[in-house]
Structure 1
Amino acid sequence: MNAFVAYFLKTAVTLAVFYLFYRFFLRKETFFRFNRYYFLGSIVIALLIPLFDVSFLLPAKESLPVLVIPKGYMTFQQAVVTPLVAPVPVQEYRDPWAWVRVIYLAGVAFFLLRLLWQVGTLAVRIRRAEVRRISGLKIVPDAKVKSPFSFFSWIFVHPDQLAEGDLEEVILHEQEHIRQHHSWDLLLVELLTVFQWPNPFAWLINRSVKETHEYLADRAVLDQGIPLEKYQRTLISFVLGAGNPALITPLNFSLNQKRILMMKKMKSSNGKKWWSLILLPVILMLAMAFSGPGENDGARIEKQKDQTFVVSGRVIDSETGDPVPGVNILVRGEDHGTVSDLSGNFTLKVNRETIPLTFVLNGYEETEKTLQSGKKQVILIKRKDGTAPPPGANHVQTSKKSPLILLDGKEIGTEEMKNLDHDKIAGIEVLKGERAVKRYGEKGRDGVIVITSTEKDQTYKLSGQVLDDATGKPLQGVSVVIVNTSVGAMTGPEGRFTLNTDKPEAEIAFSFVGYQTVRQKVKTGEPVSVRLKKGIIRLDLKDVKAQREPVSRPASGKADDEIFFVVEDVPHFPGELPALKKYLAGHVKYPPK
C-alpha cells in the first residue's frame, strides 16, 4: 500500500474514534475548556500516532536460523542453469487508482485555495478599514458584516451597530475569543479539513470545535454578570447573519436550542472527565494495530541497506579468452574490493543488490561494469596496445597464431568478439592442445574459444490467425511452416496457430488446398492476422508440343491393336472437403525440429 494512503487512512480512523467518544461521552457535558483541549489533543495524536512504531510490544515471530556455508555460493552458482524465458509482450500498465488521486488532490487544492483566499480577503478588509480602538480592542467597521466576529486580535462589526453603541455584550463575547486565542484553533482545524476533506469526521470535528468556542465565550460573558435574558436577546438580534468565512466563528454561530440550553445548564461534575481514561488503551491498541505485520515494509526496505549481498564473476582476456588472475576489483567510489584468483574468478560481499565495480590490472584498460547479486557474470577486459600478457596468464594466442572463436556454434573473428555485449555472454570455454584438435580438427590447432550467449536456445513464440479473405471466417487445417525449416503446424478450429522457434522473427508460409500460398514475416509478441485468397492454378499450354513415343505392341502382334488410357474422376473423401480438412488436421503432423 502506498505510504501516504496508509497514513491518511490511519489518521482518518483515529479522528473517527476520538469524535465518537466525544459524541457519546462529552458532548452533553459543560466542561467546555476540557473539550477544547480534547479536540486539539485528538488532532495532534491522530497526526502523530501513525508515525510511531510500537511493534516491539507485539509478540516476536520465530524465525528459522540461517546456515552459512563457506564457498557454497560459488558451487551453487556453477550448478545452476539459467532458465529459458520467452519474451512477453510489454503491456501498458494502467493504475486503477489514478483518478482517485486526481480527485483527492483537486479537493485539497480547492479547500487550500479557499482558505488562503479568505485569509487574504480579511487582511485586505482590515487594511482598507478605519480601525478604531475601544478599551484597548481593535474594532474594524465593515459594511459587509452581518454578524460580529473576531479574527485574531481584530473585531469586525457593522458601522450601524457601532453607531448605536449597544455593543457591550458583543465586545465581551468577541474579547473572550481573542483572549483564548481561538483563531489559532480554527486555523488548525481548517488545515485538518484541507488534508482530510473526504473524511466526514474531520468536518464534524471542525464544527464541534467552533461550537465549543461559542460555549466558552458565552460562559465568560455570563460570568461577568450580564443577565441571561439580555444576552440571549442580543444573540437573537443577529440571527439573520450569514455568509462569513470558514476561518471565523460569528456571534450567531450554531444559535439553536442546544446553545441556549447550555447557557442555563448547571456545570457538570468533574468526575465525568475520568471517562477520558478509556481512551488510553484505545490509543495503545490503535498504535499496535498500525504497527502490525506488513505495515513497516518501508522501514524494512531501508534496513536492507545494511544486509549483505554477494556478487561474483570471472575476468577474461577479451583477445585470447583466457582467465586473468590478479585483477583488482574495487567498488566504485568506495575503498573496498577483492582480487581475481588463478582461474579469473572472484566473489565480493557488498551492501546492495546491484553494485558498480571497477576492474584494474597493469597492462589492461580500466573497465567499469555494474553487477547484480545472484548472477555470476563474465567480464571481458581489453589489453592495452603493445602490452605483453601479465605473469600467470596462460594465453593461447601468440603473435603468429589465432584461435578459433565460436559464438553459439558460429565462427566469428577477433574484432567481433571484442565488440560483444558483456551482459549477453553466458559463459566462455577455452580448449587447447589435443582436446581442441579432437573436437574441432585442424581448425582448433591454435586453440578454441567457445562463447555461449544468453540468447542461445532461447525459445520464442510466433502466433496468429488465418482467415478467409472473402468471408473473414477462420480457416482450419492451414499448413503453417517457417520457410527453409521443418518447423510447422496447422491451424486449429479458430484458425489460430502457435510456433516455437529460436529466433524472434521468421518468415512463414501459409498454404491451403484451393487457396493461394502466402508468405509473411511474423515477430514474437505481435500476433498477426493472415488472409488467404481462393485461387486456381492454370497451366499455360501454348508452348506444349505433342510428341509420339514408341509403344510396344501386345503379344497378339496385331497391327491394329490400340492402347487405351482411361482417366477417371478422383474418388471423393467421405464427408467431402470439411471432413478431409478435419482428418488432416488431426492425423498429419510435422516431425519435430
Structure 2
Amino acid sequence: MEQFLYYLLRATITTALFYGFYKLLFSKTTFYAANRVALSVILVAIVAVPLFHYNLLPEKQPEATPIMEMPIAIGMTDFVIQEEPQPTPIEIPWQEILTAIYIGGVAFFLLRYIIGLTQLVQIIHTSHNRHTLSDGSILCITNKKMNPCSWFNYIILSAEDHSAENRAMIGHEQAHVHLRHSADRLLFDLMVCLFWFNPFAWLLRRELQSVHEFQADEGVLTKGIDAKTYQLLLIRKSVGDIKFAMANDFLQRDLQKRITMMMKNKTSTAKKWGYALSLPLLVLIMVVLSVPKLNATIVEQQEENEIENTINSQDGEEVIVSGSVRGDEGMLPGVSIIIKGSSTGTMTNPEGNFTIKAQKGDILSFSYVGYGTYEYKVTEAHDNLTVVLEQEAIIHSDVEVVVDSEDGKIIAAKIADEEVTISGRVKDEEGFMPGVTVLIKGSSKGTVTDMNGRFTIKVNKGDVLVFSYVGYASTEQAVEKTKSGVIIDLEEEEKMMDEIVVVGYEGDEGEQKRTDRLQLKGNIESIQLRRLPKGDSPLYVVDGVVQTKGFDASSINPEDIDNISVLKNESAIELYGEEGKNGVIHIETKENKSTAYNNKTTTLSDQFNISENEKVNALIDYDKIAFVIGDKLAAKEEVEALKPEQMKGVNIYSKGDKLKELQKKFNTDKESFMVIELK
C-alpha cells in the first residue's frame, strides 16, 4: 500500500501544477472548445503521469564511510557476542491509518454520488409528461420544483417553467445534450471521488463546469435569443429550487462570470500558442517527480543494491586490521569487535589494543558497555587504526565483569537481568478467580490473585510464571517484557480433589511421613478458597489449633502466614477423626500470631466480614451486588444473619450468560450476584 500512497502524493502535485497552468493562461479566454479538450487531457495526465518514475535529476554520490580507529585484543580468542535486546519502540501504523481514511473518503463520496444519481433517475421515470424534441433529446416535465437540468439525452424541466419563456432554458439544456457534456461530468465526478482529499481536483472540476456553461450560453445566443433578456432570466432563476450536482444545471455557479463572458470580446487566436507551453510544463512535472523523497522505496532499494554490489566486488581478499580503542578517559580494555553479520570477532587487551583478520568489504562493529557502537568498513590493511568511542548518556550500573586473575584480561561481561512488571487477571469458565497462586518457576517468590482475580508481580526477563489453583491444571506463562492486561485461563482437572495424595502423619509424637505434599510458602498477598469440588468444607488448623466450622482463611493477614499445607483422606482422618474427612488445611503463622485468628468465624456476616473488613469492603461495591438466598432476592441484613451451617454453597456471578440470566429473572441491573444455596 505504500506505493499507492506515494502515487496519490505524486498525483496531487501533478494536479496542482496543471491547475495553476490552466488558471493562469486560459480560464478567462473564450476558447471554450479548446479549453474543454485541455481539461480532458489534464485529467488523463493527472492519472497517468504519476504512474511512472523519472530520473531527470543528477544522482547524489554516497559519501565514503568515515574511517574510525579501533582496538586490539592480542592473544585473545574469538567469541560470539550476544547483543542485549533493545526495547521495541512504539510505532504508529501511519500507512494503515492513512489508507483507512482514504478508503473511507472514497466510499463516502461514491455513495453520495450514487444516491444523487438515483434521485435524478427517479425524477426522470416519474415525470408525468415526456416527449421527444426536434434534436432527438427527451423533455421530461416534473411536478417537483427544481432548476432545469440535463443528463445525457434527458432534459428535466419543472412544470412551473413550462411556459413561453422556457424556449431559452430548453435551448440551453439542448446545447448540453448536443455537446455531450454529461460524459465529461461523469469522468470528472469519478476523479473527485478518487482524489477527494485534493482541493485542486475539485477546482479543476469547477473549471470544467464553467466551460460547459459558457458553451451552452453561447449556443443559446447564436439562436437569436436577446442577450439582455437571457441574462435577466438567469438572475431571476438563480434563487431557490433543487439543484443536482451531477447534472448540467441551468443555474450552475459563477453566474456573474457567465454574464461577463457573454459580454466579452473574442480572445485573440494568437493566444492559442499558450497551449504549446504544456510541453515544458510536462517536463517540469517529470523533474519534480524525480525528487528522491517521492520515490523513497525505490531509491532505498537502489542504494541497497549499489552497496551490496560494492561489497561483493571487494570480497575475497583477506587483510589484517590492528589498532587501539579509547574512550574519554583513556584506553578501553574488553571492547568487543565483531565482523558484522557473523560470529567472528575479538576483544581489546588490557592496554586497549586489538588485531583481527577480515576481508575487504567487511564491517567491523566496536561496542562497549556504556558507550555508543561504532562501525568501520575495511577497505585495506591497517596497522595503526585508532577508534574513539563516545560515552552514552545512560550507563548500565549492574554489570558483572569476569577478569582472568593471572593476566588481568577481561573474560566476559554481562548486564544483570532486567526487572519487569507483569499484571493481569486469572479466570475460568465461570468468571475471574480469587486466590490463584502465581509463583516464579523454580523459586518461592510469588503472589495470589485478589477478590477480582487480579495480580501484579515483578520478575526478571525470561522468568516463567506458574498459575495454580486447587482442582485446576497449572498454566505457565513466559515473561519477556513489561506487560499489563494479561488474561490467564485455567481449566479444571478431570480428577477431583478426592484423588489428590497429600501428607500423612504417623507416630506418637506426630512425626511426619511424607507421601506427597501440597504446600505454599513465601510472601502471600491474600488467600481466597473456593468450595472443594466434592464434599463439604475442609477443617482448618491454625498453629495447631482446630478452628470452628465456617472459619474464613482470608481473615488472616497474608504477611503473617509462614506455611500452608494440606492433608487428605486417611492421613487427615487418622489425626483428626471424622472432622478431617473432607481434608485438613494447616496454616502456620509467624511470631505466634495465631491467637488473633482462633475461633473467629461464627456467622456468615463474620465469614465475609461485611461490616468490619475494610479490605473486603474496598473491593466490593455492595450497591452493585444483589444477594439471592434460595430462589429469592435478599437484603444484606438477611445475609449477615445466616449461619455457616445453614449454607450449602455460595456462588458469585459477575459476567457471562449466568449473570444476564439472573438480571433478567430478578429484573435488576446489578453488576454482580451472590447466590447462596441453603441446605
Report the TM-score, using the length of structure 2 for normalisation.
Answer: 0.43
More strand per residue: 2
Report the TM-score, using the length of structure 1 for normalisation.
Answer: 0.49
